[in-house]
Structures are given as structure tokens and as C-alpha cells.
A and B are shown apart, each in its own frame.
Chain A
């Protein structure tokens, strides 16, 4: 290496050193430490007793582990496709060529920047079987009352609906994607006689598939880690302290991890849970990317 190259390298590393320090101490070290903890029995204080693979074995025998994994996957499989569709619809609305479109964009984006806990508390009132807006509107349309707070079959839908309020963020990205669709293609299709639906499904949609892939991967990551809304919705529950929602239907994986670590002081077991989540997430992400090769169309290719 020449003098100047060496100097550049040194200066570069110096500039990056704060981030590097933070990365190593606050991300890499805790991850390795949690791997170490997952092979031990540890309350967070006192001694760490090595127990080999026992935590992982116990995990697969634990019915709440399976329940929380089922709840989380159920939620993710529901929330990701719905989230993509809602984000695209909002993006289409934001893309309309009307004079007041900046106002509409602001209104459609606003819910996603409101604090999650405030929205969750509002949601409890919104879902009330007798007095909540959701059921009142549904009743007007002839749909019978659904108890989304108390009926275990419907509680996850309550969270899916609540999560849609955050669709503003992905919608903005979709908006950028929509703007990237070449207008000449759309115009020539229109001249050839294609209606709006054909234009959307055969031209627009294929051109925004990279953004859809991004939203799916993002939705997958957020879905597998869902915690805040469930915690807030269930933490004041009457007669249910100790359960996450009716029949633990809102016991999501990260929620169970939190309880295991901090309420039952089983740090080793919780670390094992964290690593299982990590491995499953990596496998899912790799599978999604491989599957994406069949349907994502990049303009540069």
C-alpha cells in the first residue's frame, strides 16, 4: 500500500470508528452474549449454569412456545398481503392528478406518524362491541356485531386493522414507485384501448414489483416482531392479568419472550427463543428472495 492509500484508509477508519465502536459493543457483543446465555440457566443475576441444549429442547416441548409461534405466523400471513394492498391503494389515491392532492397526501400519511400507544388506546374504544364505531357501521351494513376484543378468533384481526394505520410509510415508497412507471407505456396502452384496470394490472403492477418485494420483506420483519400493540391492548385487561388476550390469542412470540425474560427471570430460555426467531427469520427472508426471482421485474434487466 502506498503512503496516501494507507493514510486514506486510516482516516476512513477514524471517521467510521464511532459507528464501528457502537456496532461492536451495542450490537455484535449483545448478540454473541445472548448466544452464550441461550446455553445456560440464568436469572440475570448471580450464576450462569451451563445446561447445553436443554433450553432448546424445552422450547419444543413448551405449548406456549408453539402457541406464540402460531399466533405470530397467523398474524404475519394475514398482515403482510393486506398491508401491501392497503399501501398500494393509498399510493394510488396519493397519485391522483387533482389540484388538492397535497392535502390528501397529508391526510392519508398522518395516521402513520401518530404514536402507536395512543392509537392502540383509541382502538380499544373503536372496537367496543356495543358502542364502538366499527360495530355500529357494520350493523348499519347488516353485518352482525363482532367482539374483536373478547373473541379469540377475531382478536388478531383487531391488530391487523390497527397496523394498517401505519400504512402511510410504505405508501410513500409505493408512490415513488408509481411515479417511476414510464407514462409513454401507459399512454400507448390507452390509445390501444386498454381500460384503467388492464393498464394497472399489466403495466403498473409489474413495474412496481421491486417495491412490492421491499414491502413484503419489511412487513415480514415487522410482523414477526409484533409486540407493542398487543402489549398495550392487553395490559389493562380485566380478569386476564397473566394472559395476553382471550385464551392467549394475542400472545405473540416477542411478547412471550419479554414475559419469560423479565417476569419469570429465565434469561437463558428467553435467549434461546430469540435465536430460534433469528434463524426462522433468516430462512423466511431467504425463501422470499428466492421466490421473488420468479415474479419481480427489474427495469434495468
Chain B
């Protein structure tokens, strides 16, 4: 009898120790693709190898910045992940919809000073109604890239583009770019110097360049008809009128069709040697055009004397509602968005960190990346609205109408306001 009791107690002890020592397994979803997802996987492996309590399984899921259908249906069905990588500026939108867990109690418990460690604009994007819903991960900025080799071969003087001369004016850029335009025998463009709206030449990009304000969060209003934004759209209207909107469309259908492989991007092939894109392009160029000679400078300014502009985006880590292991999930988020994780990601993917201490370590920004780190000092960021996705899409429609010269900037932007403001009104007050 004594032996049975002894054996039973030993077994219970062993089992409870095993259960205690068994790691919590959590799932992590990202919509990133290679090469960035490869960098994330390396980070996950490092995290898993560094401790035994939490083991993470990463999955690449379909979706994009504004498309979180997979996340929503999974969370609704009770099969959501423990951690989801979310486009940071949509945090307010997803928090308002009720998809995310409030991280404030976890921050209080594990690191009450967490907010002071991050860049203020990033932390603001992660907040909504006084609570924190995501942890900022990376950020990025945009600049004007130009192919020195391609432009020099075409005999164009590009000294004005040198970053040492400060930002170039839009008028001067147009002069240089138009010298490069060529049409073939049928009249279609075979090369164009600069196409403002491709890659990262978004409505936000040019709106910020003209000093525009897209929303007034305190008043709870979207302001697409702000004079800076209208001026930016007017500049786009005129630029495309000079190029010929339908001819530009045909050029894009030919050389930048949907799902274009990165090797055939027009900046890589040289058919559009000037483009506005983000700091991640440094890694893309290293992979697909290692022998290209290229330079970076500020996004052009409307008139001489204006201050340069750019905007910063980036991603964040969230815990969707319904996670069964929120504490383990938070520990993982903390590591990935902490100094160790962000350092790894900055070096491998050529994005920028949102941690204050890292952003002052210039050794993390070799070569041209240092320029982007500098521009973070004057970067704007998109307003954190609970209707961020709807606003972006409506602005895109307006931008394309203006590019096609089928609407005036004022008309197109008024439509944006009419469409989005009623939806925003449902969430007031915002703060």
C-alpha cells in the first residue's frame, strides 16, 4: 500500500513539474512576404532559442495593410492567432471595431515605463481613446531615388539632384524628368523620367509636401479639402496633363502591370529612373540591381525655401481578442518590439527602429540608410482615425480621378469628405 501511494505521489510530482516546465505555445501571424518575412522568421527563431517559457510558431497569412479579412474571420470564429502584425496606423480602426485586446493592463504589469522608450509619433499611432492597443515595431520614411547611371547615359545633367544641394523644387525636377521621356513609333511612351504617383508617391506624400493637413483629430474631422492637399492635387493634375493621362496609363499597364515581379520594377530596369519610395528600397536594390549607381535626395519642395517633407509608416504587434495566452503573447510582443528584436530587424531589412535609444545609434544605418534616419526628424505621420482604411481608399479614388484629369482637385476631394465624414461621426469623440 505504501509503495502504491509513493509511486502515485512521484508520478503526480513528475507530471506537475513537466506541466509547469512545458512551454506555452503561441501562434503569430504576419502578412509580410519574403524577404521581410525571412527576417521575421530569424527573429522568431532567436526568441524561441533564447528562453523556454514561450515557443512561437509563425505563419504567413494572406492580407495587406488594409485587408485583415483573414484575421477578422478567424477571431470571430475563435481560431484567431495570439499575436498579429498590424499596420500601425490602422490600430485605431481595428481597436474601434473591437478586434484587438487592450494592452494597457499588460503594460502596467510588465513595464509601466514602456511608452517613454518609443518615439512619440509611433506611440500616438498605437493609441486610441487613451488606451494602448499595439506595440510599435518598425518605421520607414520616403525619399526621392534617382538612377545616376541611367540618367547620365541619357546625357542629362543631374547635379541639381545631389542631396548636398538641399531639396530640389518640383519645377526643376519636372525639367530634368521630361528630358528623359521617349516615345516609340506608335506614339506610346517607352520611357518616362518620373511618374509622381507610382510606388510611394501617394496622396499623403504630396499632400504633406505641400504642407497639407489631412485631419483635425481634436475637432473630429477629416480635412481632405485643406488648401495644402488641394494644392498638391492641383500639381498632380497639371503634371499628368503635360504627360498625357491615357498614355501614362498605357505605359503603366505595359511596364508596371498588376503583380509585377520586383526584378521588372521600372526603377530597376531603368525605364523610370526617378521615383519616390521608402528606405526598404535599399535592400531591394542590393538584391536585384547590385551594380546600379543610384542616389537619394529629399522629396521635392513646391517652391524654393520650403522645408523638406516625408512621412513615416510602419507596423506594430497586437494581441487579437480571444487569445488564450495573452501573457505569453505579450512577452513575445515585448521582445520583438524591444531593443533586441528591433536591432535585428533594422540591420537585416533596412527599415527604421521606433525605439528612441536605437534611433540614436548611427552604426545601425550604414550607407544611404543614414539619410533616411535623418529625415525621421521632420517626418509626418498619417492621422490615426477609426476610419483610416476608408479614408485611404477614398483619397486613392480622388487621386486617380485627378491623375486621369476627369475631376478637378476640389471636386474630387470634396467627395472624399462627403463619403468619410459621416462614417467618422459615428466614433466621436475621438479622444
Contacts and interface: CB of A to CB of B under 8 A. Distances in A.
Interface in B306-364: 321
A235 B69 contact: no
A113 to B, nearest CB: 23
Given A45-B76, A262-B68, A238 B400 contact: no
Interface stretch (B53-61, B143-151, B245-253, B368-376): B245-253
Interface in B174-229: 186, 188, 197-199, 201
A247 B97 contact: no
Contact of B98 (A43, A238, A263): A43
Contacts of A128: 253-254, 257
B76 A246 contact: no
B344 to A, nearest CB: 28
Interface string A215-247: 000000000000000000111111111110011
A182 interface: no
Interface in A83-133: 121, 124-125, 127-131
Given A129-B253, A150-B253, A241-B64, A41 B260 contact: no
Contact of B249 (A43, A125, A147, A234): A147
A248 interface: yes
A145 interface: yes
A131 B254 CA distance: 7
Contacts of B401: 247
Central interface residue in B186, B258, B395, by most chain A CB within 10 Å: B258
A117 to B, nearest CB: 11
Interface of A: 41, 43-46, 63, 121, 124-125, 127-131, 145, 147-151, 233-243, 246-248, 258-259, 261-265
B253 A147 contact: yes
Given A45-B99, A263-B389, A150 B249 contact: yes
Contacts of A145: 186, 188, 250
Contacts of B75: 45
A235 B186 contact: no
Nearest to A265: B97
A43 B76 CA distance: 11
A239 B197 contact: yes
Interface of B: 64-69, 72-73, 75-76, 93, 96-99, 186, 188, 197-199, 201, 246, 249-250, 252-254, 256-260, 321, 387, 389-390, 392-393, 395-397, 400-401, 404, 406, 415, 419, 423, 426
The 8 closest A-B pairs by CB, nearest first: A45-B98, A236-B259, A262-B69, A242-B396, A150-B253, A150-B249, A242-B393, A46-B98
B253 A125 contact: no
B400 A240 contact: yes
A237 B258 contact: yes
Given A129-B188, A247-B404, 11 more contacts: A46-B97, A121-B259, A128-B257, A234-B258, A242-B392, A246-B400, A262-B67, A262-B73, A263-B66, A263-B69, A264-B423
Nearest to A144: B186
6 contacts: A124-B257, A147-B250, A238-B257, A242-B395, A263-B69, A263-B389
A41 B96 CA distance: 13
Given A45-B98, A145-B188, A265-B97, A235 B397 contact: no
A31 B395 CA distance: 34
Contact of B396 (A44, A241, A264): A241
B402 to A, nearest CB: 11
A43 B97 contact: yes
Nearest to A47: B98
B210 to A, nearest CB: 19
B69 A150 contact: no
Given A247-B406, A263-B389, A265-B72, A130 B254 contact: yes
B69 A129 contact: no
A262 B72 contact: yes
Residue from B75, B99, B321, B415 having most chain A Cβ neighbours under 10 A: B99
B259 A151 contact: no
A131 B250 CA distance: 12
Contact of A248 (B258, B397, B423): B397
Nearest to B393: A242
A263 B72 CA distance: 9
Contacts of A265: 72, 93, 97, 99
Nearest to B62: A235
Nearest to B404: A247
A45 B258 contact: no
Nearest to B250: A147
A206 to B, nearest CB: 44
B392 A124 contact: no
Nearest to B65: A241
Nearest to A41: B426
A190 B314 CA distance: 75
A261 B68 CA distance: 11
A194 B69 CA distance: 60
Contact of A243 (B254, B400, B419): B400
B254 A151 contact: no
Nearest to B66: A263
Contacts of B68: 262-263
Contacts of A125: 257
B21 to A, nearest CB: 36
Contacts of B197: 239
Nearest to A248: B397
Contacts of A63: 415, 419
B412 to A, nearest CB: 12
A246 B67 contact: no
Contacts of B201: 239
A127 B252 CA distance: 13
Contact of A124 (B69, B259, B321, B404): B259
Contacts of B257: 124-125, 128, 149, 238
A40 to B, nearest CB: 13
A237 B186 CA distance: 25
A62 to B, nearest CB: 8
A243 B393 contact: yes
A245 B64 CA distance: 17
A45 B97 contact: yes
Contacts of B404: 246-247
A299 to B, nearest CB: 48
A239 B390 contact: no
A47 B130 CA distance: 21
A157 to B, nearest CB: 14
Contacts of B188: 129-130, 145
A238 B249 contact: no
A44 B75 CA distance: 10
